[in-house]
Amino acid sequence: MVKKSIHFFLIFLFLFLFKNNAFAIDEIQECFNYINAQDYNRAISVGQKAVNLYPASHLAYFCLGEAYYLTGEISDAIETLKKAEQYSSSDSDLIHVYNLLGLIYHNKGELDKALSHYEQSLNLKTNEKDKIPAYNNIANIYSDKGDLKQAIEYLQKAMDISDKYDDYQSFAQVEINLGNTYRKMKDFDNAQNYLFDGLKRIQKIGDTFWEGIAYKCIGFMYMDQGNKTPAEQYLNKALEIFKSIGAQKELEEVSRSITWLKSQSK
């Protein structure tokens, strides 16, 4: 399951990147603001304007690339982020570019490329707290490769750091990932505990995308257990969220699962 990290692209990231540049650019700021507001189509429109006005700004390409990713325009996202990599001038710039490229290659099912980019991101990090997203995403790769024990090891690293630094949002996201990993292991007791606690935490902070991810994973858990009614209920909750924020890839995945469930009820 791809984590969009997004999580990993909140408004504090924009502020951190921006303060390390000598100038402030209204169009780039507006692009990040639209992403933070989950208005991804407007982010693309403004981001395209930004890269035309500032063709050597890694920030402009990064924001546009992220907006493309969030709307499922994967080829455009990769092409744009490669330009962000080209114009990056520091390790901190590259960390975020590699992290997002890792997510995109994960979306494409190119797991080795995704793992390579996540590891590049991790190797550039010196701050322990900054390693949380990389551990989380590396765990997702191992999960998709079928090495669930290795995935849990990386998720536990991410959870320990999140707890150490009282990073409530990261802790909630890791819980959801950990619950979904236990689901894949058919350890439904642990899956349920982590997924529902992660959902409760993520709802408290209003992270809509991750609320949808939690609903989706809970729906899959009930599907795996053969409980079709609650499975469809939770998947429909996820569907409504992904529709509202334009998360196309997640929307398509949930829609396919709901269609399959309905076919099994006939």
In tens digits, what is the pLDDT along the chain, a chain of 266 residues?
444 444 444 433 444 454 444 444 589 999 999 998 989 999 999 999 999 999 999 999 999 999 999 998 999 999 999 999 999 999 989 998 998 999 899 889 999 999 999 999 999 998 999 899 889 889 989 999 999 999 999 999 999 999 999 999 999 999 999 999 999 999 999 999 999 999 999 999 999 999 999 999 999 999 999 999 999 999 999 999 999 998 988 999 999 999 999 898 76
Is there a contact between 146 and 134 (Cβ–Cβ < 8 Å)? no
Q: Does residue 3 sit in the same domain as residue 107?
A: yes
| Residue among 31, 26, 32, 71 at smallest CA distance from 48 | 31
Q: Does residue 4 sit in the same domain as residue 63?
A: yes
Give the angle subtended at the CA of 48 by the CAs of 42 and 53, to the nearest 5°.
Answer: 125
Is there a contact between 220 and 207 (Cβ–Cβ < 8 Å)? no
Range of the domain at 97: 1-122
pLDDT on residue 110 = 96
pLDDT on residue 143 = 92
Among residues 63, 91, 122, which one ends one of the domains? Answer: 122
Question: Domain tally for the chain?
Answer: 2
Would residue 147 be called left, alpha or beta, if left means φ above 0 and alpha means ψ between -120 and 50 degrees?
beta
Q: Does residue 148 sit in the same domain as residue 208?
A: yes
